[in-house]
Amino acid sequence: MGRPARIDRDGVLAAGLAIADDLGLEALTMGAVADRLGVTPMALYRHVVNKADLLDGIVELLLTEHPGAPADAPWEDRLSQLAHAIRDTARRHPSVFPLLLQRPATTSAARGARNSVYLALREAGVNEDRIAQTERLVSTAILGFAVSEVSGRFRDHSRRQLDADFRRLQGMLAQFIDTESRIG
């Protein structure tokens, strides 16, 4: 006989993300998530297979957070917007974001994000058989910077300085893409 579910997977993931954002990754326990949902820890196991699955789901949330850039803007602007969106996501979720650099981007949300970059690089004139490699290097540089920034590696630097660093990083990547497109 069915009982109406009081919690669901999305709710569990959202509660977990909120805890990590507010209190840090080590405060993200099954008990804390359960408390926030008004339920016992054991109830969570119907909705996530274990804590690793919970973490995977939370990281996946980050990828679906921002919509893709408008397709009509010039590719330079779209790439720049994408970079800023990544940086903003990192700032909103400093505890969870670093995990993005540590798992294979094989989910459909990850593929979607990657494809936005592919489209822009194609439009930039990068040769087809160089696009995947160029995307890896560009994305890795942006992610690496965002992780460093939100997890404290640049703790001693001002926001102003980090903004300047980020602009310079974007300049470096633009130059790189430009060179790639000439190799064609």
Partner DNA sequence: ACCTGAACACCGTTCAAGT
Write down how long the chain is: 184
CB of 6 to a second copy, least distance (A): 31
User: Which of 10, 22, 24, 50 lies at the binding interface for DNA (CB under 7 A)?
Assistant: 50
- By beta-carbon proximity to a second copy, the closer residue of 106 and 184 is 106
Q: Which does 6 bind (CB under 5 to 8 A by kind): DNA, a second copy, none?
A: DNA
Number of residues that bind DNA (CB under 7 A): 24
Binding mask 14-33 for DNA (x = CB under 7 A): --------------xxxxx-
Question: Which residue number, 8 or 178, has a Cβ lying nearer to DNA?
Answer: 8
Asked if 46 is part of the footprint of DNA (rule: CB under 7 A), the reply reads yes
Binding of residue 183 to DNA (CB under 7 A): no
How far is it, in rounded angstroms, from Cα 110 to Cα 60? 8
